[in-house]
Amino acid sequence: MRRPWWLLAFCWPGWAEARPVGDELEVWRRAPGLVSEGLREQRELKLVILSDLTQVEQDLFDAQVGSTQVYRGINLADLVERLPRPEGVDTVNLHFANGMMIPVALDGEQLGQVFIATAWKVGGGLDDHFPDVPKKKRALPDPAPITFGRNKVVVPDGQHPRVPKAAQPGFSPWFYVDTLTGLEWVASGRWERQFAAPGDVEVKRGQQVYLGRCQFCHGVAEVGATYGWDLVRPVPLYDYRRPDGLMTHVKVENAQALERGYRMPPQKDVERDEIRDLWAWMKAIALAGPNPYGD
């Protein structure tokens, strides 16, 4: 994520106290254009300090942890309500410290289900240190648990409307997020059009598979999430993983990346046809590049 130069001044030691990761959220509007052409992505950048906002306490089931806790924090819907909303946007992309990105529609049901916790109740008191979450929904132990800064996003049912029904509840992007660091206002149609590649119906279906199963973690030529590898740069992954290899990679846990401390969660329900379409799209978008974000 790029920061404008003047922000550095505020972060310089001696100028201001460094805030713990997650107390401060960057809020910006997606700028039109192509990232690869030096686009300054963060238009109208503002900072929101979570600890300055009125907080509420809620008893919530946390799908990521698998238990119910009393959390203190703010609903995403309430936060969004307080921010000046740019014209023409219908979605807010949530950006996380680990590079994940989850779009939430401003008029959808999900907005009201996302709670940004800044503390949880333990032993009668409030604790702003959230315990690590082991990635325990895996067959193999994961050496790198999810760790949190000063906030933790709690989504009770763990669902995301973009994920295909067949993939839920086994897969949810909410299981893998860490600290929330940014909110990006976008128009969903223009956002998704960035990933449209020239080609037949296969390519078009492949783009939808990407948006439903991969976009939360993988970006395309510097657009979108950065948790997993960019699908296009520096290595076009369609070339590195042929359809069969891609099928295995998506369906089965990848033990190889264990040493690096993070792993891609398997999506066991994925169908051969989806992978064929996805691969055709990965190739088409690698060759054509993403479209500029429209104005």
Cβ neighbours of residue 202 closer than 8 Å, sequence gap 6 or more? 276, 277, 280, 281
Q: Does 197 bind ligand HEC (CB under 6 A)?
A: no
Q: Does 250 bind ligand HEC (CB under 6 A)?
A: yes
Measured from the CB of residue 85, what is the shortest distance to ligand HEC in angstroms?
28
Pick the binder of ligand HEC from 206, 228, 266, 290 (CB under 6 A). Answer: 228
Dihedral sign, CA of 159, 161, 164, 165?
Answer: positive
Closer by beta carbon to ligand HEC, 121 or else 251? 251
Closer by beta carbon to ligand HEC, 23 or else 253? 253
Question: x/- contact string, 136-175, with ligand HEC (CB under 6 A)?
Answer: -------------------------------------x--
Long-range contacts of 263-269 (CB under 8 A, 24+ apart): 263/135, 263/138, 263/140, 263/142, 264/217, 264/228, 265/135, 265/137, 265/138, 265/171, 265/175, 265/176, 266/171, 267/167, 267/170, 267/171, 267/213, 268/170, 269/164, 269/166, 269/167, 269/170, 269/171
Q: Does 206 bind ligand HEC (CB under 6 A)?
A: no
Using the contact rule CB under 6 A, the part of the chain among 62-70, 161-169, 195-203, 250-258 near ligand HEC is: 250-258
User: What are 56's two structure tokens?
Assistant: 């509420």
Look up tokens 């989806």; give the residue.
Answer: 274
Closer by beta carbon to ligand HEC, 73 or else 173? 173
User: What are 16's two structure tokens?
Assistant: 């201001």
How many Å separate Cα 244 from the centre of its chain? Answer: 27
Nearest to 186 by CA among 47, 92, 290, 109: 92
Pick the binder of ligand HEC from 28, 115, 176, 195 (CB under 6 A). Answer: 176
How many Å separate Cα 287 from the centre of its chain? Answer: 25
Using the contact rule CB under 6 A, the part of the chain among 64-72, 185-193, 223-231, 286-294 near ligand HEC is: 223-231
Pick the binder of ligand HEC from 174, 185, 195, 216 (CB under 6 A). Answer: 216
Question: x/- contact string, 257-286, with ligand HEC (CB under 6 A)?
Answer: x----xxxx-x----------x--------
Q: Does 254 bind ligand HEC (CB under 6 A)?
A: yes
Binding site for ligand HEC (CB under 6 A): 173, 176, 213-214, 216-218, 227-229, 237, 241, 249-250, 254, 257, 262-265, 267, 278
